Structure 1
Amino acid sequence: MIQSIIDWLNGPSGPAWIQAVGSIGAIWAALRVSNRQLAKVAEASKQESEDQVQAILAVGIGAGHYGEMWCDFVRKRPSSHDFRIFWTRSFADVIEASVHTMKQVPAHQLRKVELINAFNGVMSVLVVISSKTRSALGRGAFADQEIALTYNEISQDSALLQTYMNLLRAGLVDVGG
């Protein structure tokens, strides 16, 4: 049997068959290499997308953390003097810079409506907290009732902030961060 195959290959059409089989093998090998490369590109793209989502979530969580810290401070009901000092020296610039950074981030790349809404929710609550704080400080000397009202309002905003932060943190865990 083997001898007949050798004779056939040595015949006039043998080289053409050898070339045809070799061409088919080369095409098959090229397709395998191409498929592997496409799979690697797809995996790299997926990883890059996940990395972007993690980075965006980290921006939101980092910004929201400053809001949480301010709200925690306000819940302790500090004196109006301490309220003013801590806001102007510790929180005002960092919260405003955080909001500015969040505005620059392409939140739509989070791909999930819940995460996009949570990201925008954190930013909105930070803007509201900052506005309420600045408004309270702009009124000058606090009356006891005014400061109590401001503290209550910021404490209520804190609960909403916490809800949004929990969604962002859960999203970070889901993405693998």
Structure 2
Amino acid sequence: MSWESVSYWIEHHPGLASWVQAFGSIAAIGIAIWVAASQRKAQLKMTEKMARDKVEALIAVVESASLFVTTLGILVEKNPSVFVFKESWKLVNKNWLESSIHSLSQLPAHELGRGDLVRGYFGIMGGITEIRRLIDIAIGADAFEEQEFFFMYQQVLSQVRIVQATWISFQSCAINRK
């Protein structure tokens, strides 16, 4: 049976052409609704993925800063001489700390999406800022340099532990958000 014979039969049967046309119109409407729903679903998935990727990038910034603080803590735990600390500070650590603070300060914390992540972010930011303040005081000390650095080491280690604990909490909140 060819299409010509089907077409001839439809055209010459009274009322059948209008039924075929009505059925075709209903099918076209159904397909249009299905296509629109599929596109909407795909758009929603893409939007959700972009939001997840953005939060992952924000979390990576916080992680990077926290890892640097851990590295700095390892140096401070060794109680290096004032000269060694000042040189490593001048050559490497100062730039890393400033970069961490700058990156964190540019981060739109409200886009982390949850209060526990925002609080963790501010805890880490506060700890890193305090570490910078403590080191600046010790570096700027004119008298009793050894004592100033000993005090700074103790205070920095306390802040490092706070940042590490906050990072662990932040990390578990970030994992639970998924």
Asked if TM exceeds 0.5, the reply is: yes
SS at match of 2:142: coil
Q: Does the alignment pair 1:60 with 2:62?
A: yes
Residue number in structure 2 paired with 1:10: 13
Kindly report which structure 2 residues correspond to 1:24-173, keeping only aligned pairs within 5 A, or say none: 24-173=26-175
| Distance (Å, rounded) in 1 between the aligned partners of 2:73 and 2:143 | 21
Q: Deviations over 1:119-154 (max 9, x none)?
A: 222222111101100111101354444322211111
Q: TM-score, normalised by structure 1?
A: 0.86
Q: How many residues align?
A: 169
Mean CA deviation greater in 152-161 or 164-173: 164-173
Q: Which amino acid aligns with 1:155?
A: L
Structure 2 unaligned segments of length 5 or more: list them: 1-8
How many Å separate the matches in 1 of 2:118 and 2:76? 27
Q: Which residue of 1 aligns with 2:3?
A: none
Tell me, yes or no, if the aligned pair for 1:57 and 1:171 is still in contact at 8 Å: no
Report the secondary structure of 1:128's partner residue. helix
Quote the Cα distance in structure 2 between the aligned partners of 1:154 and 1:114: 24
Counterpart-to-counterpart distance in 2, 1:143 and 1:135? 10
Secondary structure at 1:78 match in 2: coil
Greater relative contact order (Cα 8 A, min sep 6): structure 1 or 2? 1
The alignment partner of 1:27 has SS state of helix
- The one-letter amino acid paired with 1:139 is A
Residues in 2 aligned to 1:54 and 1:87: alpha-carbon distance in whole angstroms: 30
Over aligned residues, Cα RMSD in angstroms? 2.1
- Give the 3-state SS of the residue equivalent to 1:72 in structure 2: helix
Q: CA deviation at 1:172?
A: 4.9
Structure 1 letter corresponding to 2:116: E
Contact 1:53–1:110 (8 Å) recurs in 2: yes
* Percentage of matched positions with identical amino acids: 25
Deviation, structure 1 residue 107: 1.9
Tell me if structure 1 keeps the 8 A contact 2:141–2:148: no
Deviates more, 1:99-108 or 1:164-173: 164-173
Please state how far the C-alpha of 1:169 moved relative to its aligned partner.
3.0
Which blocks of at least 5 consecutive residues in structure 1 are unaligned? 1-5
